[in-house]
Amino acid sequence: MPIDIDVVVAANVRRLRIMRGLTQEQLAARAELSPQHVSRIECGVVSPTVRTLERISRSLNAPLWEFFTVTDMRARADCMPTRDDS
């Protein structure tokens, strides 16, 4: 099964942000992005441009290559659409 690079990047942005003890809002402020954009990147809704990823990289003090490392990519419950079963 091929690896979805968008899922890999999304999981790593979230992982590194949490490891640094930052909220999405704090990362957004440091990277000069909106909190909504950071959330959409972490949920895999949008794929960040190289420039955006570089800004996030600097803000997290992480090398760019680390965003492309395959790690734990389990789906996040707060990113999954909800459905009403009632």
What confidence tier does 27 reach under pLDDT thresholds 50, 70, 90? very high
The encoded tokens of residue 73 equal: 């990519």
Tell me, what's the pLDDT at 77? 47
pTM above 0.75, yes or no: yes
Average pLDDT (2-20) is 93
Whether residue 82 has pLDDT greater than 70: no
Compute φ and ψ for 20, nearest 5 degrees.
-85, -5
Give pLDDT tens digits for 33-69: 999 999 999 999 999 999 999 999 999 999 999 999 9
The secondary structure of 11-57 as a DSSP string is HHHHHHHHHTT--HHHHHHHHT--HHHHHHHHTTSSPPPHHHHHHHH
CATH number of 5-64: 1.10.260.40
Mean pLDDT (the chain) is 87
